[in-house]
């Protein structure tokens, strides 16, 4: 992975208790977590959701979380979570066959180098138990959060389409399902503008300060209310290892 967004889970709604609880509940249901489940969270960041998963489920094995970013060292210590700063493909190559019941890739797959995506999915398949599943959470092709025109253009150029992930998974001999994630957000407009200035989304990282400020002015003219209300929506691509 060659892109990190250090402020994504620090000052945005993703850091809120309501979002963390909602996300953990969705993931628990999708993975059908049981006490003996082994779970890996790839791209866990500060591990807010990872820790919530650990506290919401009685597990025999600590949840493993990995991230290439230094932000992983800012995660709280929790006995039910083991964290490593490392790259996913290397990490999985050191794991035995059929080791995990579930693997999470939340808003991280588009950050993985194109040439690495298929080899990573093959490793994920190898490391999953039969009927185990990997969840790839990703934003829809058309962004649902407020974004200025040039930011939308950069988003479309960067974001991989969920149908491409489905095709990659099927090419790695995994079954696929598609579900949705939806969280209603209310955030002060000026706070949201500060998040844009901090480039809290990866599609903003290469835009200049001038472009960001022009984009904020565009949004300020478009939204007159002081509080922005919108839906943070994602697709969840389920990649399932067939039963032996």
Residue 209 confidence (pLDDT): 96
* pLDDT for the residue 11: 67
pLDDT band at 28 (very low <50, low <70, confident <90, very high): very high
CA distances for 81 relative to 48, 66, 71, angstroms: 11, 10, 16
pTM: 0.92
Q: What is the mean pLDDT of residues 132-137?
A: 98
- Determine the Cα–Cα distance for residues 66 and 40; give it in Å rounded to an integer: 8
Rounded Cα distance between 139 and 180, Å, is 10
35 burial level (CB within 10 Å; 0-12, 13-18, 19+): exposed
Pick the CATH number of 13-240 from 3.40.50.1110, 3.40.50.150, 2.40.30.10, 3.40.50.1820: 3.40.50.150
Residue ranges per structural domain of the chain: 13-240
Q: How far apart are CA 24 and CA 57, in angstroms?
A: 10
- 3-class SS at 143? coil
Long-range contacts of 198-202 (CB under 8 A, 24+ apart): 198/7, 198/11, 199/5, 199/7, 200/5, 200/7, 200/8, 200/11, 200/12, 201/5, 201/8, 201/151, 201/155, 202/3, 202/5, 202/110, 202/111, 202/158
2 pLDDT tier (thresholds 50, 70, 90): very low
Q: What percent of the chain has pLDDT over 70?
A: 95
Mean pLDDT of 62-90: 94
- In the predicted model, is pLDDT for residue 3 greater than 80? no
One-character DSSP codes across 27-46: HHHHHT--TT--EEEET-TT
In this prediction, residue 8 has a pLDDT band, given cuts at 50, 70 and 90, of: low
**pLDDT tens digits for range 180-203:** 999 999 999 999 999 999 998 888
pLDDT level of residue 208 (50, 70, 90 thresholds): very high
Find the mean pLDDT for residues 125-141: 96
pLDDT higher than 50, residue 129: yes
Least trusted range by pLDDT, from 14-18, 130-134, 161-165: 14-18
Q: What pLDDT, on the 0 to 100 scale, is given for residue 7?
A: 54
Give CA–CA dist 48/78, Å, rounded: 11
Residue 1 confidence class, pLDDT cut points 50, 70, 90: very low
| Distance in angstroms (rounded) separating the CA atoms of residues 213 and 186 | 22
């Amino acid at each position: 992975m060659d892109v990190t967004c250090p402020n994504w889970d620090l000052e945005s709604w993703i850091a809120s208790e309501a979002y963390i609880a909602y996300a953990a509940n969705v993931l628990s249901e999708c993975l059908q977590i049981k006490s003996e489940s082994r779970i890996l969270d790839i791209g866990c960041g500060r591990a807010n959701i990872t820790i919530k998963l650990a506290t919401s489920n009685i597990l025999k094995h600590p949840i493993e979380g990995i991230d290439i970013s230094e932000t992983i060292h800012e995660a709280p210590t929790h006995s039910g979570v083991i964290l490593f700063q490392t790259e996913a493909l290397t990490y999985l190559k050191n794991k035995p066959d059929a080791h995990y019941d579930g693997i999470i890739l939340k808003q991280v797959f588009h950050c993985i180098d194109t040439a690495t995506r298929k080899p990573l999915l093959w490793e994920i398949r190898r490391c999953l138990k039969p009927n185990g599943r990997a969840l790839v959470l990703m934003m829809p092709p058309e962004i649902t959060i407020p974004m200025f025109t040039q930011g939308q253009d950069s988003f479309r150029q960067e974001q991989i389409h969920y149908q491409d992930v489905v095709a990659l998974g099927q090419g790695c001999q995994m079954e696929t399902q598609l579900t949705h994630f939806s969280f209603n957000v209310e955030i002060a407009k000026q706070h949201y503008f500060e998040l844009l200035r901090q480039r809290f989304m990866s599609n903003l990282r290469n835009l200049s300060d001038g472009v960001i400020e022009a984009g904020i002015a565009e949004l300020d003219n478009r939204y007159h209310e002081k509080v922005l209300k919108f839906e943070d929506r994602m697709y969840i691509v389920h990649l399932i290892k067939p039963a032996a």
